[in-house]
Structure 1
Amino acid sequence: MTSLQEDTIIRKLGPGERIPYDLLLLADPSIVAMSSYLSLAEIYVMEQDQQVIGTYVLLANDPDELEIKNIAVTPAYQGKGFGKILLQDAAQRARAKGFKRISIGTGNSSIAQLYLYQRQGFEITTVKKDYFMTHYQEPIYENGIQCKHLVMLVRKLN
């Protein structure tokens, strides 16, 4: 458990606890896509005054790389540094578990996320062309741009 302020913590979601789908759906609008990885992953929640305000999901891709499969902050708390704190917490946990890299994927239209991830030391490594066109039934639009391609970013952990 990571202590942030007296009233804010980040902790692993325990067995049987309610999965914060409302938040997870902010980052990935497909329950079908999420169901493919949630049972294999670790879910972390950020709580302030015992209310969940953020979450992220970690999944091991291989012995050297841990992926952030989903990360989200409640809209009322966005733009206040909580996403940065969640990314730092995920990297710290990955390092503590012995992983050499942490990765994250986002859409080509996710301008704020691409900015945040790169500011936190993630570098674009691959672009999966038309990923969202073939893996999602409904078109996704952000910032007036159609989300078509999956942009993968990786941060080395020292």
Structure 2
Amino acid sequence: AHGELYVARNCGAAAGVIVIRQTGENTWEIMNCSVAPEYRRQRCGTALVRHALDIIRSKGGRYAEVGTSDASPGPMALYESCGFQVSGVINNHFTDNYPEPVWDNGVQCIDMIRMRADLSLREEGVPHAAQKA
């Protein structure tokens, strides 16, 4: 109810969605990023995350945060490629906060990996690692 939803479309069909929400004066969080199975591995997720970061920056945000499962190496790699770094771990997040086990690609989610990007360190649309010195 308090987030902003953005939809990536291909020929009218939803290819992916991302939800962002302001969580502090200079901080926004990606609350959800999901890509339809047929559009995975086609840079749709990267485009969604970069679009969200551009929106956050345009709203004056300095930091972007995200939480993802310890069972999700693909999303972690995606966020790292967009300038996020691991900032912490919430042990047992999924086992303590969900009544039923949460599974990702056949692996039970237990811990939440928290990641953060400092948007002042990257140029618009360019990951931090690709910036010129």
Tell me, which stretches of 5 or more residues in structure 2 are unaligned?
A: 121-133
For residues 97-108 of structure 1, the aligned pairs below 5 Å read: 97-108=59-70
Match of 1:131 among 93, 102, 125: 93
Cross-structure match for 2:23 = 61
Amino acid at match of 2:20: L
Match of 2:110 among 148, 152, 155: 148
TM-score by length of structure 1 reads: 0.73
Report deviation, 1:118.
Answer: 1.0
Q: State the aligned residue count.
A: 120
Residue 70 of structure 1 aligns to a residue whose secondary structure is strand
TM-score by length of structure 2 reads: 0.86
Residue 46 of structure 2 aligns to a residue whose secondary structure is helix
Cross-structure match for 1:51 = 13
Amino acid at match of 2:32: N
Whether 2:68 is the aligned partner of 1:110: answer no
Residue 86 of structure 2 aligns to a residue whose secondary structure is strand
For residues 65-76 of structure 1, the aligned pairs below 5 Å read: 65-76=27-38
Separation (CA, whole Å) in 2 of partners of 1:138 and 1:92: 35
Percent of aligned pairs with the same amino acid = 28
1:58-92 per-residue CA deviation (whole Å, 9 max, x = no partner) reads: 11110110100000111000010000000100000
Q: CA RMSD in A?
A: 1.0
Separation (CA, whole Å) in 2 of partners of 1:90 and 1:121: 13
1:35-67 per-residue CA deviation (whole Å, 9 max, x = no partner) reads: xxxx01111111111111110001111011010
For residues 3-14 of structure 1, the aligned pairs below 5 Å read: none
Whether 2:45 is the aligned partner of 1:83: answer yes
Tell me, which stretches of 5 or more residues in structure 1 are unaligned?
A: 1-38
Amino acid at match of 2:9: E
